Chains A and B, each alone.
Chain A
Amino acid sequence: MILRTLFSGDMPRSRVLTVLLLLILAGLLLTPFVFPGAKSTNVAAKICIFIVLVSSFDLVLGYTGIVSFAHTMFFGIGAYGVAIALTHLGPTWGAVATGVAVALVLSLALSLLIGLFSLRVKAMFYAMITLAVATAFMTLASQLSDITGGEDGLSFKVPTLLQPSFSLREAPFMGVSLDGKLISFYLLMAVTIVLFLVMLRIVNSPFGRVLQAIRENEFRAEALGYRTVVYRTVSNVLSALFATLAGCLLALWLRYNGPDTSLSFEIMIDILLMVVIGGMGTMYGSIVGATLFLVAQNYLQDLMKIGSTAAGGVPFLRNLLAPDRWLLWLGLLFILSVYRFPTGIVGRLRSKRSAA
């Protein structure tokens, strides 16, 4: 019963998926203890942040059927909000709250504006408009270097509790020092879980059901009495707000923010891939997609280095497996997975169940 409420009646509905999700959860929870080193914890933290970001993208793309390229702009607003506030107001929780609040208000206003002015137009034009706005914002962010740090970005201090130098106790616990970085990581995980469950609730609310109806047949939804512009706008705004929160988390984790970390179109493409690989319109797909993608992105190169060395004798193979080629392989993996699982991994796993 509690589980039903927590998961909003939308359980994974596939045994394999349930196991997969539990594995991901356990893997993330245990990362600092099982995989020591800064890199693995960094990857795990990024996975958490991207779970929030990709879920929020799924809310508009997968559930409402809106193609928006402005999603990373809201991610960037969150990251800049926290970065600018902490840089100028000092490393206090009050500064964090101020940064988050200002970023949320800005995202709310912007997404509302974009929504009201352009959600009536055809999907293709909407995608173009968001692309234009996002580009303008990116230019603005690098131009206003007094505030944003320009291309260099901003490095700043976070509140004491989250600082790497902060320590809960002198002696390490199970070989891991209980420092601010560890606290940051578990706080980040907790926030991720809460935000994910909130989004899961939204898509499984009566409102979320209307979003799916609009995606399926907007004309019919109107004939049923649903003002689709209102629903699309609300969905757009909510999605922007969650993306903003993901951006806040990113800045807090990195203690840095610049245009490349939160605003670049590369991130836009990455989250598009993650949501498609995981399965659009499933929410759980964003967990699976973000995890697989980021693990591949961060460890494929290592794996290929091993492969390339092993294939040392065969020049062609060695070239093919050269670590520089990892993007090619990632691209191939992506094409293959879309081709094999057009409904994403989650869609695939769920349909297997209903066929059985």
Chain B
Amino acid sequence: MTFALETQDLTIRFGGHVAVNAVSCGFEPGTLTAIVGPNGAGKTTYFNLVSGQLKATSGKVFLHGQDISSASAPQRSRRGIGRAFQLTNLFPHLTVLENIRLAVQSRAGLGLNLWSIWSDHRELIGRAEEILETVALAGKRDWAAAALPHGDQRKLEVAILMALEPDVFMFDEPTAGMSVDEVPVILDLIRGLKTRSDKTILLVEHKMDVVRELSDRIIVLHNGALVADGAPAEVIASPIVQEAYLGIEVAK
């Protein structure tokens, strides 16, 4: 079968520093792959290469078997690669609802419509409100995004990704910095996505219990290279993970 997403020898150098080093990996549709590794391992950079925010020094990216290596970030987004950012990345002075509605509008392909009134497109607003409910932010729909507490900003970040309805979801530490009671909302959303056989999920996450529960497979990045790949139990037990990654967890 063809992979939903595949990278071949994907590499990026920043000066002499190789941040992502020849990563070859395929992701099957309907699976959730956790990407783990210590800080600075290259996880976020790998995501940036896949979603097009950074141009690879060498290597290729395939979406449903098609080479998208030369496609721009907006093109990749429209073709179905969706991305939630590790560092919250919103439209700060626009309302919470508008942040989501803009994603819904992009998905609907209405961006270049110059002559209709945006608020007449009730269906877009309705859809944005639906998504707002799923992340438990409905009460704050008219807040400016910048005024939200950190945890809510993280939720909004995920909500925007949901609104894009991509084929490939990329979550970059979605629950980082959230309070304990906020985490389940996000995890439930990801669980909901997992039941869809056509959706492919990549998840960078530090909380090992979350990774263990959600993932079908774990890959480990270390110094930009892919150093382990396999079933969750197997990878977590491997010496390289114990040393390179879980060592940090244990120390905490």
Contacts and interface: CB of A to CB of B under 8 A. Distances in A.
Contacts of B233: none
Interface residues of B, number: 37
A206 B73 contact: no
B115 A223 contact: no
Interface in B65-111: 72-75, 77-78, 83, 85, 89-94, 98, 101-103, 105-107, 110-111
Contacts, number: 99
B91 A201 contact: no
Contacts of B113: 205-207
Contact of A206 (B77, B89, B91, B110): B110
A110 B106 CA distance: 29
Interface in A209-237: 209-210, 212-213, 216-217, 219-228, 230-231, 234
Contact of B117 (A9, A225, A228): A9
Contacts of B237: none
The CB with the most chain B CB atoms within 10 A, among A220, A223, A227, A228, is that of: A223
B53 A205 contact: no
Contacts of B73: 222-223
B90 A209 contact: no
A206 B92 contact: no
Given A216-B92, A217-B92, A220-B91, A225 B118 contact: no
A247 interface: no
Nearest to A210: B111
B72 A227 contact: yes
A356 to B, nearest CB: 15
A216 B94 contact: yes
Contacts of B74: 222-228
Contact of B114 (A207, A216, A219, A221): A207
Interface string A1-35: 00011001100000000000000000000000000
Interface string B219-242: 000000000000000000000000
Given A216-B92, A220-B91, A225-B106, A206 B116 contact: yes
Contacts of A206: 105, 110-113, 116, 118, 121
Contact of A209 (B77, B93, B118): B118
B160 interface: yes
A8 B103 CA distance: 21
A8 B114 CA distance: 12
B170 to A, nearest CB: 10
Contact of A208 (B83, B93, B118): B118
Contacts of A9: 117-120
B34 interface: no
Contacts of B131: none
A80 B78 CA distance: 43
Contacts of B116: 205-206
B117 A224 contact: no
The 8 A-B residue pairs with the shortest CB-CB distance, nearest first, are: A225-B77, A216-B91, A225-B78, A225-B106, A206-B110, A207-B114, A206-B113, A9-B119
Given A225-B77, A234-B114, 18 more contacts: A201-B115, A204-B118, A205-B113, A205-B116, A206-B111, A206-B112, A216-B93, A216-B94, A217-B90, A220-B90, A222-B73, A222-B77, A223-B73, A223-B83, A224-B164, A225-B75, A225-B78, A227-B75
